[in-house]
């Protein structure tokens, strides 16, 4: 096999560049850059074997990265599988691990470097972070928040968000962060599901330089919440936007001022105590409340930050995700701060005020690792290399991607134009449920193959199987499974153990034999070297710009519009977003599928989920293609959206409708 690791110096010579470009296109595999290997946290390939031979005890490595109040007595307790427990008997506090323990050596070093949309910057040293987390923990106590009360946060990328999360962790109150781009309805559904009586939000934020209201949306959501709620409001927009506080609302900074200098002893939490809840989309319309724990989750995110992102405390590391999603929880807040590093946090969009915003931040802050999403990389590629070329990106040592499959062209562009062919690229597969990275290359150990995430991490037993659970041959598509537990795994779905089993453990497990296999609901293939390429979801979830959306949730928003009889939603391929929302709608008698109805449908989806779920296409039809037993043929609707060959449709109950719909889609 030809390897594409380049050791020679780059030249400006055009001819050479063309030749290199051609080699990049051809290269299937890239070696870890030598300079990176020399300094990497994990360099010995034997770690894979060690985990295999010494499993599950090898996971002590992860636990060793943390400070424990009480040592655990068992690494893994599988007696109630699949309700696994990790590091049982141990106790610790996540906020003490992410803040307090760094004070001696890193007190004056930055913990969070925040960059605002308008270009303003705020740095919190570990000392300053410690102070505000303590004060806010005192505020929460004063507000009556008790251990195990769920505190909801509905906030954009402002420093008060990670501060509030850490303050909750300090007093043992699990947080439930709702992405600020979600709608009022989505907030209400989640607060009701979690019985949450506390909300932290803000008056608004900036997008492309404009002040955007947020409090109205939060209040609208609260109207639909069953329980009484106390709300704390961060004044982000100051003089740009006046807001009045209603009853049960208090101002974040006023409350903080009342607690000036307060210190709150971190509560000792059992390893298995809940650290947070994160709602995510699944097959049914109801979001799933994924429960993560204090010991296993924190150990797992710290370990993967160390082994995969190669984080050292003196780094300036940047993950450009939003904290409203799991990536931000694990790899902006918990993993990096557990390791005492500097975590950059950016409020805004990558193309405001100019398309070089990201590169300007990398340059100004001397960012050492950048972790972003394929959808962003595809946009950078489209905008052109002149934007990164304007800046000195030589501080970068490692690049990462997450959230959706990355096509080899985008991978190579990232490797070449951002990493200057001297940074390893880690393509990391994982999920809200897994808590942290599961499949990717260890950057100093394994060669990289563009388009393939890589082998499972040490200690992770991922396989590709057919419908009966037998492993498929290399190169064949199948279903991804994870055949042993890991510390970062979800423990259950909040207050719904049954759904936890039916969603993740029913497909391939054999309960009679006490054999439990986790099913992530992704399709994938494996190559001869054991590298896994994840192909995408096999359930009714679509992935729009790395955002996970349930088609059923979108369908119920559409069916709620008067005049709509039936709707089917599928994901169609999209050049920039990866997937886009395609909706097929049957109207009730007497209703026209006209522009007004189309607008109402789009608005209803935005109201019930948020603008990220906005349909790309609304196709009116008088029928949907169905099997003889009456099931909607979603695959076919996807093929139609993609303009793919539709194959044989004669086994349908209503084959004639397929052509008709396809013509409409093409005509759009």
Which is nearer to ligand WTA, 137 or 402 (by Cβ)?
A: 402
Q: How far apart are CA 486 and CA 497, in angstroms?
A: 18
Among residue numbers 292 through 331, which ones bind ligand WTA (CB under 6 A)? Answer: 325-327
The correct pick among 96, 453, 554, 633 for binding ligand WTA (CB under 6 A) is 453
Unique residue bearing structure tokens 């003490």 = 96
Among residue numbers 378 through 417, which ones bind ligand WTA (CB under 6 A)? Answer: 402-405
The correct pick among 4, 350, 520, 572 for binding ligand WTA (CB under 6 A) is 520
Options 127-135, 165-173, 430-438, 587-595: segment touching ligand WTA (CB under 6 A): 430-438
* CA 90 to each of CA 203, 297, 299, 485: distance values in angstroms, whole numbers, following the listed order: 40, 13, 12, 18
CB atoms within 10 A of CB 3: 11
Strands (E), 36-159: 74-77, 85-88, 91-92, 110-115, 121-125, 151-154
Q: How far apart are CA 649 and CA 18, in angstroms?
A: 46
Which is nearer to ligand WTA, 322 or 347 (by Cβ)?
A: 322
Options 100-108, 442-450, 533-541, 605-613: segment touching ligand WTA (CB under 6 A): 533-541
Q: Smallest Cα–Cα separation from 550: which of 521, 524, 518?
A: 521
- As given in the structure block, the two tokens for residue 619 are 């196709």
* CA 423 to each of CA 201, 368, 388, 440: distance values in angstroms, whole numbers, following the listed order: 38, 10, 15, 15
Which is nearer to ligand WTA, 138 or 425 (by Cβ)?
A: 425
Options 187-195, 236-244, 265-273, 422-430: segment touching ligand WTA (CB under 6 A): 422-430
Which is nearer to ligand WTA, 363 or 433 (by Cβ)?
A: 433
Which is nearer to ligand WTA, 403 or 458 (by Cβ)?
A: 403
Q: Are 196 and 151 in contact (CB under 8 A)?
A: yes
Among residue numbers 16 through 35, which ones bind ligand WTA (CB under 6 A)? Answer: none
Which is nearer to ligand WTA, 348 or 403 (by Cβ)?
A: 403
**Shortest distance in whole angstroms from residue 163 CB to ligand WTA:** 23
Q: Are 288 and 539 in contact (CB under 8 A)?
A: no
Options 102-110, 142-150, 457-465, 531-539: segment touching ligand WTA (CB under 6 A): 531-539
Which is nearer to ligand WTA, 136 or 508 (by Cβ)?
A: 508
Q: Are 427 and 452 in contact (CB under 8 A)?
A: yes
End-to-end CA distance of the chain: 45
**Shortest distance in whole angstroms from residue 327 CB to ligand WTA:** 5
**Shortest distance in whole angstroms from residue 8 CB to ligand WTA:** 30
Residue nearest to ligand WTA (CB): 432
Q: Does 430 bind ligand WTA (CB under 6 A)?
A: yes
**Shortest distance in whole angstroms from residue 529 CB to ligand WTA:** 17
**Shortest distance in whole angstroms from residue 326 CB to ligand WTA:** 5
Which is nearer to ligand WTA, 325 or 582 (by Cβ)?
A: 325
Strands (E), 562-660: 564-574, 578-587, 617-620
CB atoms within 10 A of CB 288: 25
Unique residue bearing structure tokens 């394994």 = 446
Q: How far apart are CA 647 and CA 645, in angstroms?
A: 6
- As given in the structure block, the two tokens for residue 472 are 């498929």
Q: Are 114 and 158 in contact (CB under 8 A)?
A: yes
**Shortest distance in whole angstroms from residue 321 CB to ligand WTA:** 8
Element (H, E) at 61: helix 60-63
* Axis crossing angle, helix 215-223 with helix 184-193, rounded to the nearest 10: 50
Q: Where are the alpha helices (DSSP H) in 58-157?
A: 60-63, 94-98, 103-106, 126-142
Q: What is the DSSP string of 543-574?
A: EETTEEEEHHHHHHHHHTSTTEEEEEEEEEEE
Among residue numbers 564 through 583, which ones bind ligand WTA (CB under 6 A)? Answer: none
Options 175-183, 208-216, 333-341, 532-540: segment touching ligand WTA (CB under 6 A): 532-540
Angle, alpha carbons 444-448-449 (nearest 5°): 170
* Buried b or exposed e, range 494-525, using 16+ CB within 10 angstroms: bebeebbbebbbebbbeeeeeebbbbbbbbbb
Which is nearer to ligand WTA, 536 or 560 (by Cβ)?
A: 536
**Shortest distance in whole angstroms from residue 457 CB to ligand WTA:** 13
**Shortest distance in whole angstroms from residue 614 CB to ligand WTA:** 18
- As given in the structure block, the two tokens for residue 507 are 């497909």
**Shortest distance in whole angstroms from residue 190 CB to ligand WTA:** 15
Interaction mask 239-278, ligand WTA, x per CB under 6 A: ----------------------------------------
The correct pick among 304, 543, 551, 583 for binding ligand WTA (CB under 6 A) is 543
Is the Cα dihedral 117, 120, 126, 131 positive or negative?
Answer: negative
Which is nearer to ligand WTA, 136 or 179 (by Cβ)?
A: 179
Which is nearer to ligand WTA, 68 or 430 (by Cβ)?
A: 430
Q: How far apart are CA 43 and CA 55, in angstroms?
A: 20
**Shortest distance in whole angstroms from residue 322 CB to ligand WTA:** 11
DSSP state of 330: I
Q: Smallest Cα–Cα separation from 252: which of 229, 230, 232?
A: 232
Q: Does 536 bind ligand WTA (CB under 6 A)?
A: yes
Which is nearer to ligand WTA, 205 or 519 (by Cβ)?
A: 519
**Shortest distance in whole angstroms from residue 636 CB to ligand WTA:** 21
Options 306-314, 380-388, 534-542, 649-657: segment touching ligand WTA (CB under 6 A): 534-542
**Shortest distance in whole angstroms from residue 176 CB to ligand WTA:** 15
The correct pick among 132, 363, 522, 553 for binding ligand WTA (CB under 6 A) is 522
Q: Does 280 bind ligand WTA (CB under 6 A)?
A: yes
* CA 192 to each of CA 7, 187, 199: distance values in angstroms, whole numbers, following the listed order: 57, 9, 12
- As given in the structure block, the two tokens for residue 639 are 């093929």
Among residue numbers 641 through 660, which ones bind ligand WTA (CB under 6 A)? Answer: none
Number of residues that bind ligand WTA (CB under 6 A): 22
Q: Are 248 and 230 in contact (CB under 8 A)?
A: yes
- As given in the structure block, the two tokens for residue 468 are 């009966």
The correct pick among 43, 431, 483, 649 for binding ligand WTA (CB under 6 A) is 431
Residues that bind ligand WTA (CB under 6 A): 280, 325-327, 402-405, 427-432, 453, 520, 522, 534, 536-537, 543, 548
């Amino acid at each position: 096999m030809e390897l594409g690791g380049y050791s020679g110096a780059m030249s400006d010579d055009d001819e050479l560049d063309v030749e290199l470009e051609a080699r990049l296109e051809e290269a299937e595999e890239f070696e870890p850059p030598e300079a990176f290997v020399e300094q990497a946290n994990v360099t010995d390939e034997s770690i894979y074997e060690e985990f295999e031979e010494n499993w599950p005890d090898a996971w002590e490595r992860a636990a060793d990265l943390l400070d424990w109040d009480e040592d655990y007595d068992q690494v893994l307790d599988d007696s109630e599988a699949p309700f696994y427990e990790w590091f049982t008997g141990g106790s610790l506090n996540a906020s003490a691990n992410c803040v307090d323990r760094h004070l001696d050596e890193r007190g004056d070093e930055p913990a969070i470097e925040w960059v605002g949309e308008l270009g303003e910057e705020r740095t919190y040293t570990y000392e300053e972070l410690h102070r505000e987390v303590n004060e806010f923990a005192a505020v929460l106590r004063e507000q009556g928040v008790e251990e195990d009360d769920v505190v909801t946060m509905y906030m954009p990328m402002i420093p008060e968000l990670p501060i509030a999360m850490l303050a909750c962790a300090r007093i043992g109150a699990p947080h439930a962060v709702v992405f600020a781009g979600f709608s009022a309805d989505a907030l209400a559904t989640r607060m009701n599901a979690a019985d949450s009586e506390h909300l932290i939000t803000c008056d608004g934020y900036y997008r492309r330089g404009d002040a955007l209201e947020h409090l109205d949306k939060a209040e609208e959501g609260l109207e639909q919440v069953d329980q009484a709620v106390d709300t704390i409001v961060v004044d982000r927009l100051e003089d740009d936007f006046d807001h009045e506080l209603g009853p049960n609302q208090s101002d974040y900074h006023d409350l903080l001022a009342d607690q000036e200098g307060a210190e709150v002893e971190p509560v000792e939490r059992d390893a298995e105590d809940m650290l947070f809840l994160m709602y995510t989309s699944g097959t049914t319309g109801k979001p799933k409340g994924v429960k993560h724990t204090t010991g296993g989750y924190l150990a797992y995110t710290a370990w993967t930050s160390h082994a995969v992102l190669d984080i050292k405390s003196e780094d300036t590391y940047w993950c450009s995700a939003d904290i409203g999603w799991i990536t931000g929880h694990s790899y902006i807040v918990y993993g990096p701060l557990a390791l005492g590093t500097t975590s950059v946090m950016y409020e805004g969009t990558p193309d405001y005020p100019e398309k070089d915003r990201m590169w300007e931040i990398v340059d100004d802050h001397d960012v050492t690792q950048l972790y972003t999403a394929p959808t962003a990389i595809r946009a950078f590629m489209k905008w052109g290399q002149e934007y990164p070329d304007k800046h000195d990106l030589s501080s970068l040592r490692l690049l990462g991607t997450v959230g959706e499959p990355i096509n080899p062209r985008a991978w190579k562009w990232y490797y070449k134009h951002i990493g200057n062919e001297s940074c390893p690229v880690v393509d990391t597969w994982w999920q809200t449920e897994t808590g942290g990275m599961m499949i990717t290359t260890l950057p100093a150990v394994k060669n990289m193959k563009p388009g393939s995430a890589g082998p499972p991490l040490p200690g992770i037993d991922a396989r590709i199987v057919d419908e009966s659970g037998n492993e498929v041959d290399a190169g064949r598509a199948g279903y991804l499974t994870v055949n042993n537990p890991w510390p970062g795994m979800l423990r259950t779905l909040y207050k719904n153990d049954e759904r936890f089993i039916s969603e993740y453990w029913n497909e391939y497990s054999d309960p009679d034999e006490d054999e439990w296999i986790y099913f992530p609901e992704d399709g994938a293939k494996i190559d001869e070297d054991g590298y896994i390429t994840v192909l995408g979801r096999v359930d009714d979830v679509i992935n729009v710009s790395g955002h996970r959306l349930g088609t059923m949730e979108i369908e119920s928003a559409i069916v709620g519009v008067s005049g709509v009889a039936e709707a089917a939603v599928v994901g169609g391929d999209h050049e920039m977003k990866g997937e886009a929302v395609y909706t097929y709608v049957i109207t009730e008698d007497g209703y026209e599928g006209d522009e007004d109805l189309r607008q109402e449908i789009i608005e209803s989806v935005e109201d019930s989920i948020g603008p990220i779920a906005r349909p790309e296409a609304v196709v009116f039809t008088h029928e949907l293609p169905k099997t003889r037993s009456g099931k909607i043929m979603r695959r076919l609707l996807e093929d139609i959206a993609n303009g793919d060959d539709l194959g044989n449709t004669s086994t349908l109950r209503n084959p004639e409708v397929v052509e008709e719909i396809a013509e409409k889609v093409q005509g759009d």
